[in-house]
Structure 1
């Protein structure tokens, strides 16, 4: 496995320290209902077409609602050479940090 599971508290620390950026792979209407501040919305269904929006050199925290779609996104990104990937364990269901 070429990505790590990250707990929400660890993810929040990484984001606050600017050590990582967040990509939310939920659909736009889910993202609009509340997302991690600064998260870029690239739905899993659009990931192949929009891959250019995600810097492969960047450390990414990948988030969805519960962790399944973000895991699939991590699998896809790892398969095409991304290395700094962290799947947010439990997704937005477990996120206790700020939401916008």
Structure 2
């Protein structure tokens, strides 16, 4: 596995220290209802386009509803040779519980 599962509190620490790219992989309605301040909504078919635009050595944080789908996205990003990919265990709900700032 070339990506890591991290807790919501570890994700918030990463976001505070690094200029990470953040992807919300929930459906667009859930994203529109509320998402992390820095998050872009990512559909699986858009990964190849994003992979051409981003620094592959910069951190990429992925979250979904509960931390399951984000693991699939994290693996895909790792397959595109991103070196620092993180999936948030517990997903959006855990991030909210940890005090994440919303857009």
TM class by shorter chain equals 0.7 to 0.9
Aligned-residue Cα RMSD (Å) equals: 1.7
Task: Report how many aligned residue pairs link the two structures.
Answer: 100
**Structure 2 unaligned regions, length at least 5:** none
| Contact 1:26–1:44, Cα closer than 8 Å, also in 2 | no
- 1:65 and 1:54 map into 2 onto residues whose CA distance is 24
Structure with the bigger percentage of helix: 2
| Contact 1:44–1:69, Cα closer than 8 Å, also in 2 | no
Deviating above 2 A after TM superposition, structure 1's stretches of 4 or more consecutive aligned residues are 18-21, 44-55
Compute the displacement of 1:68 (Å): 1.8
Deviations 1:4-41 (A, max 9, x none): 11111111111112352311122221111111111122
Name the TM-score, length of structure 2 as normaliser: 0.83
Aligned to 1:99: 102
Name the TM-score, length of structure 1 as normaliser: 0.85
| Contact 2:18–2:59, Cα closer than 8 Å, also in 1 | no
Aligned to 1:59: 59
Aligned to 1:24: 24
